[in-house]
Chain A
Amino acid sequence: MNKPKKTPIQNPLTVLRVEFDDWAILFDPDSAKTLGINPTGVAVWKLVDGQRGIEEIVEEIREKFSDVSISAEKETSDFIDELYRNGFIGYSLNGVAQ
């Protein structure tokens, strides 16, 4: 039996506002909880779709950016954790939001 696949998924209420320098603000309109994110963070956010796991997200980030650090997987994992703690994302199990 396959292990269930747990993947991060955006909270549909979260708003992303990309600014002139490609940095962006993520915020929850209800709580006004706010997070400023850099262009890599924006790219990660756009890949958080409930289908991709962290390894797949990192792989796509490596394809997209030329200067991705060797600790990208850990950094992405920490970022995803931070998004979860702030309520900006949830998790889906086998493609079903939890």
Chain B
Amino acid sequence: MNEIGCKPIEGTPSLRSIYFYLTEGCNLACRHCWIAPKFDESGIMPAISVDLFRKVIDEALPLGLKEVKLTGGEPLMHPRFKELLEIARQKNLSVIIETNGLLCTPDVAAEIARLPNRFVSVSIDGSDKATHEWMRGVPGCFEKAKNAINNLVEAGVRPQIITTLIRRNASQIEEIVGMAEHLGASSVKFNVVMPTGRGENLRGAAETLSIGELIRIGEYIDMILPAKTKLKVFFDSPYAFRSLSSIASGKGCFRCNIFNIIGVIASGQYALCGIGYHVKDLVFGLAGTDSLERVWKENEVLNSIRSGIPDRLEGICSKCLMKDACLGSCIAQNFYRTNNIWAPSWFCDMAYSDGLFPKSRIR
């Protein structure tokens, strides 16, 4: 019997997590990537320096930092990745790593395993080579991703597999879960293509699923699939589309902790998150030069979000009974789409327009 909501923010919230978009390049060319980094097999593209990484963390610790997320681009392409892990370990930070797995050798996996608090996800977008590599754009990456999971499991880290659902892999859900079980993964999370970056093109090319199809798949993953596997399975949809039982259990309740995070993109700029690559209004300063404390406490956009979310959300989000918990789902994406920080979630907006928004969740 859980209250659905969040407590009002009093004063400046703690900065619990920093998302480091470590590299400007990526060794894959994924059709759905919302960041859309430049393709870079050689690792010569800019990356956040070790000194800057350390300096940002040192500035963030007094503000409440507990966790860093290492993403990209492709974080394992960072030329001094192991040093970054060591810094996080010395500072007693939890570490989340989002990787495509290509560079996750036994040696790297062992370094990750040394972290006392870590969570690793490896992206696999199909149960077979053809589907995964169509999505990811580089031949040979399917076997390498599976090898990465093997290496992590052997080192004692059971990663999560993340699959972005599109039309051509939607029929492979059970096979992907079976593969995850076989490989020793801990869970599988199914994502929706965000209409941002290359994801926008993928939607335009009619490769993505309709809102109606996504809602039905979400119900299947939420209610039926758990009985068929020992793994945890999640579907990353807005709160309004999740059953109350799954919300109450905490199962798959992903929420952007927008009040407690900041991003550092590969150019060394502070941003709301990776959206800073696309939306200059959501870039807040230069790490290492501008004081993080000042950015965190005084930036107008951050303060506006703190005071306005969820009460100022518009459209269907303003009428949704889940808005105190959901917080508009993804404010960065909402802004990208509309240039309005209070705009509703695109997913919920489309579902509402199509008459598919759950009536029991509307005020």
The segment out of A5-13, A26-34, A60-68 that lies at the interface is A26-34
Contact B1 A35 (CB under 8 A): yes
Q: Which of B85-93, B108-116, B186-194, B240-248 contacts A (4 or more CB under 8 A)?
A: B240-248
- A-contact 0/1 string along B1-14, CB 8 Å cutoff: 11111000000000
Q: Which residue of A lies closest to B247 (CB)?
A: A36
**Residue B321 at the A interface, CB < 8 A?**
yes
**Residue B349 at the chain A interface, CB threshold 8 Å:** no
Question: How many Å from the CB of A84 to the closest CB on chain B?
Answer: 13
Range, interface on chain B = 10 to 19
Rounded to whole Å, the gap between the CB of B314 and the closest CB of chain A is 15
- CB of A52 to closest CB in B, whole Å: 18
B212-260 interface (Cβ within 8 A of A) = 223, 243-245, 247-248
Cβ of B321 and Cβ of A38 under 8 Å apart? no
**Which residues in window 106-159 of B have CB below 8 A to A?**
none
Chain B, Cβ-Cβ closest to A79: B1
A21–B243 CA distance with the chains assembled, in angstroms: 8
Size category of the binding interface on chain A: 20 to 34
Q: Is the CB of A36 within 8 A of B223?
A: no
Do A82 and B321 touch (CB < 8 A)? Answer: no
Partner of A86, one of B3, B321, B324: B3
Q: Distance (Å) between the CB of B95 and the closest chain A CB? A: 32
Is A25 in contact with chain B by the CB < 8 A criterion?
A: yes
Q: Which residue of A has the minimal Cβ distance to B359? A: A17
Does the CB pair A23–B244 fall under 8 Å? yes
Would B4 and A35 count as touching, CB distance under 8 A?
yes
B positions within 8 Å CB-CB of A = 1-5, 223, 243-245, 247-248, 321-322, 324, 358, 360-361, 363
What are 5 sample pairs from A and B whose C-beta atoms fall under 8 A apart? Answer: A19-B243, A23-B248, A25-B321, A29-B363, A82-B3
